[in-house]
Amino acid sequence: MSKLLEGKVALVTGGSRGIGRGICEVFAREGCDIALNYHTNDAAAEEAAAAIRALGRRVITYRASVADRPAMKRVVQEVLADFERIDILVNNAAVNRPDMFLTMSDKAWDEVMGVNLNGLFNVTKPVFKHMARRRYGRILNISSIAGIRSVPTSVHYATSKAAAIGFTKMLAREGAAFGVLVNAIAAGIFDTDLGNTLPDRFREGYEMWCSVGRLGRPQEVGELAAFLVSDRNAYMNGEVIILDGGTVT
């Protein structure tokens, strides 16, 4: 049987660590070449790239913040020059700040929205235009259960992730006419740097609420993501799949 993503090219934002790296590694295992976007950690990006190469796939890293619109336009142009096409886009890059709304600063709000929400537009717009011209594409947005349920996390983070769900649903309607399918994963708490920014009491409580009894592993997002962006998924569009180990909230 052929691999799920044999011969495809994927651009993954925030691909050097955590869920992003898990997605990149599963995609590479399934035959996909990777354009790996990251922001600051050169060592982590190279480590992730080495793991992808070890799986026999081509990978190029691109350093830029998704919050920087001109920079991301350049990144997309560079990816197209290097790989000639983008079949798959995974919008994974995100930040969180453990703030209370009462004391939240304007800077914290703008930072989270700049990456988590504006970043969606900055990356997706040039990629979507490319996919629409080709009449083919798969876009996957990594959202969160915080965008769906009332969980003890920051207001700015939850707001940005709820917006990602609306973005997914409306872009899916527009994209379908061009052969572009758009879906999202609403992730629970995963054992990542981002997940570890949460207070210990919340992470411990999550493990009690979760029917599986543990935090998720990044590769587990990758396994679901690989199917969602593959050609074996030809009919699911505009959906938000919850992947949280079965919480009871």
- Catalytically active residues are 157
- 144: nearest Cα among 65, 71, 206, 226: 206
Closest listed residue to residue 229, CA positions, set 3, 67, 10, 41 = 10
Residue 80 phi/psi, 5-degree rounding, is: -65, -35
Nearest residue to 164 via CA among 224, 99, 90: 90
CA distance 51 to 115: 26
C-alpha–C-alpha distance, residues 15 and 98, integer Å = 22
Place of tokens 């020059």: 81
Specify whether the CB–CB gap between 75 and 64 falls below 8 A. yes
3-state SS, 92-161, equals: CCCCCCCCCCCCCCHHHHHHHHHHHCHHHHHHHHHHHHHHHHHCCEEEEEEEEHHHCCCCCCCHHHHHHH
Residue 215's contacts (CB-CB under 8 Å, 6 or more residues apart) are 188, 189, 190, 191, 195, 203, 206, 207, 245
